[in-house]
A and B are shown apart, each in its own frame.
Chain A
Amino acid sequence: MHLITRHSIRRNQWRHVADEEALGSGNVTVSLRRWRLQRETLLARFRPVGVRLQPDDAVADIAADLDRLDLLALDFGSFADGRGYSQARQLRQQFGYRGELRALQARRDQLQFLARCGFDAFELHPREDTDAALAVLKRSATAYQPAADGQSLVFRRRRHAQFEHVFNSIEGARRR
């Protein structure tokens, strides 16, 4: 499994621990269910802890704990299941989550959409090529609409582009 951010390959420091598995040492993510059951134990380890969310988990259920989590990992279940994109935007824009938001089993054709919805780390699908995936993230892409990416609505950018155009031509004329 390769982990990348928007800019580079990164070494994975995290272990995704199944519900019955021992926590062990080091950074771990657990399911939302385990987090609910063992919240105090997990916090008492004084180690970075993260939660894995499934497509049908309501992100509001974790909202109160977001400050205590270093990582949220979203499992999409299947490539065609788009709930994670809405979960991500809610986490970032509605609940103000600032920690790492990681997409699991990511394929390159999703990456730009994922990044725009607020993901900043991607565990690639085993069949995915790391360099090709990074190239996709670095590629510039035109977007019409705002998401969790600070982009503004295209109609607004057009207006500004027009102002700039007018301003530049006035400037140009002045200099001549």
Chain B
Amino acid sequence: MYRYDHFDHSLVQERVREFRDQVRRRLAGELSEDEFKPLRLRNGLYLQRHAYMLRVAIPYGLFSSRQLRALAGIARRYDRGFAHFTTRQNIQFNWPQLEAVPDILEELAAVEMHAIQTSGNCIRNITSDHLAGVAADELEDPRPWCEILRQWSTLHPEFYWLPRKFKIAVTGAARDRTALRFHDIGLRLVHNADGVTGFEVWVGGGLGRAPAIAERLRDFLPGTQLLSYVEAILRVYNLHGRRDNLHKARIKVLVQAMGVDRLREQVEAAWQAMDHAALALDPAELAAMQRHFTPVSPARRPLPVGPPPDPRAHPGFAHWLRQNTRAHKDADRRIVYVSLKHPGAPPGDITAAQMEAVADLADRYSHGELRASHEQNLVLAHVANRDLVPLWRALDAQGLATANIGTVQDMICCPGIDFCALANAASIPVARGINQRFEHLDELYRLGEVRIKISGCMNACGHHHVGDIGILGVDKHGEQWYQVTLGGSASDGSRIGTRLGPALPAGAVADAVAAVLEVFAEQRSGEESFASVFRRLGVKPFKELVYAPHHETLDTPQPVAACS
């Protein structure tokens, strides 16, 4: 993985010093809260319902055991002993004191981490495929490009005060695991007819209040020109994106207003007018970056690798092997998911003790490397087959081996009203309620891969629009209600979910999910996916069963404004 050199170290340390001074000015009353807010946001510091929340960047989801240990230490000393992995491959602490944040940032800097641009209207953490470098379906490793983009976008003097937040995702695989077309810019690595590496460029995707699927801006952009072209897109957006209305300020609205063809003309014109040479990537520079991401070599750690362990010998192991591990491009290894979806814990939460245990396991079994997935799980990407049984036992002892990856229990869920100041409704208790309905793993396995995604408000941090089943918290006269959508998809064939019907009260959500899944199980042929069943049947049969028990309560006239 990427290691800091003196440029990176000095940049991050200068930033910590600057923020320490900004905090000092705030505490001394030299800055009002209004003045301080945009400054703290650009350092990942939110003011939440009960306390400050600090979001730390995990660039493209890749981090080391050493970094995880440092995060565990911060959770112990500055928080209440746990942290939360987000849907954007970041990690959040929920209870830091303002005075302590500069010290936290300094500790992070010591392990090559920071919170720069993890919030605010600027270019956010670059996200990528959590299986980058190990997936069999990969054309090229996206991570060197992610790191190049990370550095280019960090404290970029022109793009620090954009109309709205700006998210970039990069993938190098055939199958999209990044929700590429739901980003402001989505970059897909491709080779052109001459074998030159470059990108398919997508623009204007996003979730939130008005979800949009990105449009194709360019079929092929030579990789060496990546930075100047992205800079041209950002310049057009910075100058022309709307600033009069927060809800219309994302680039997706600009794309919709002017059309992708006119946007393309403007971007090309801005691009032509720029100094390309200054931002062109030299092959030697690219190669230097790629050397940071060389694949784990089997030779470095010669192993008497045998056939995969016999699942029958270990009860529970077979399920875990099937659900929580994936093929590695090297047949002697497996990719292992560390499930942060224990049915008794909030999705994506992890305790300090668990972090330390996972860090040790990463050292022992996976070259000290970790990944955070946008589905809020962790990944140990290089586990030798012969280590699978001991790793499973060790994870199991920590409550991190629930064999539920990809199942109903593997829900994406934002913090909701328990923490978030913007929330309309709770989301963690909704997840808990669903988990209580689906306790039996056998039932989950029978249903196969079903993606449930829960957001506590329209901001859609829980990606509800793109769940097989999406659940959105809405406020109805001060009460928490839930809007259900079906048939969304974040990956290839990106689709935004269809609304099931009127919003449901909190107590009815788990029943509704159960009813939807009942229809699915009945109508499904063989291993058919939820998306396919939904495409075939439409929303009607689901709607009928879900609302059957509610005729009494839901057919009475409702004030509609709040649940739209």
Residues of A within 8 A of B (CB): 55, 79-83, 85-87, 89-90, 93-94, 107, 109, 112-114, 116-117, 139-147, 149, 152-159
Contact = CB atoms under 8 A, between A and B. Distances in A.
Given A79-B38, A155-B148, A159-B285, A89 B11 contact: no
A142 B11 contact: yes
Contacts of A80: 38, 121, 161
B457 to A, nearest CB: 22
Contact of A81 (B148, B161, B288): B161
Nearest to B160: A113
Contact of A155 (B35, B154, B289): B289
Given A89-B158, A142-B11, A159 B22 contact: no
Contacts of B35: 79, 107
Given A86-B238, A145-B151, 6 more contacts: A81-B161, A93-B274, A143-B11, A153-B279, A155-B288, A155-B289
B155 interface: yes
Interface string B94-122: 00000000000000000000000000010
Contacts, number: 105
Contacts of A156: 282, 285
Contact of B152 (A82, A89, A114, A145): A145
Interface residues of B, number: 40
Nearest to A84: B161
A145 B154 CA distance: 9
Nearest to B273: A94
Interface string B268-281: 00000111001101
Contacts of B282: 155-156, 159
9 contacts: A82-B163, A85-B160, A86-B158, A94-B273, A143-B157, A145-B152, A146-B278, A153-B227, A153-B285
Contacts of A107: 35
A82 B11 contact: no
A158 B288 contact: yes
B39 A116 contact: no
A85 B273 contact: no
Contacts of A83: 238-239, 243
B157 A144 contact: no
A136 B284 CA distance: 35
A147 B148 contact: no
A82 B7 contact: no
Interface in B280-295: 281-282, 284-285, 288-289
Contact of A159 (B18, B160, B288): B288
Contacts of B38: 79-80
A127 to B, nearest CB: 8
Contact of A157 (B7, B235, B243): B7
A-B pairs, 10 with minimum CB distance? A82-B161, A116-B157, A155-B285, A113-B157, A142-B11, A144-B151, A146-B278, A142-B10, A85-B158, A86-B238
B156 interface: yes
Given A85-B157, A116-B157, A155-B282, A93 B275 contact: yes
Contacts of A139: 14
A144 B5 contact: no
A55 B35 CA distance: 20
Interface string B284-325: 110011000000000000000000000000000000000000
Contacts of A157: 7
B452 interface: no
B162 interface: yes
A94 B22 CA distance: 34
A141 to B, nearest CB: 6
B243 to A, nearest CB: 6
A11 B203 CA distance: 47
B419 interface: no
A153 B151 CA distance: 10
A149 B278 CA distance: 12
B243 A81 contact: yes
A170 to B, nearest CB: 20
Interface in B129-164: 148, 151-152, 154-163
Contacts of A89: 158, 235
B211 to A, nearest CB: 25
Contacts of B163: 82
B431 to A, nearest CB: 35
Nearest to B5: A158
Given A146-B278, A156-B285, A82 B159 contact: yes
A152 B7 CA distance: 13
Interface string B454-483: 000000000000000000000000000000
B282 to A, nearest CB: 7
Contacts of A145: 151-152, 156, 227, 279
B7 A117 contact: no
A140 B7 CA distance: 12
A82 B281 CA distance: 27
Contacts of A142: 7, 10-11, 14
A142 B7 CA distance: 7
A145 B121 CA distance: 19
Contacts of A79: 35, 38, 161
A75 to B, nearest CB: 14
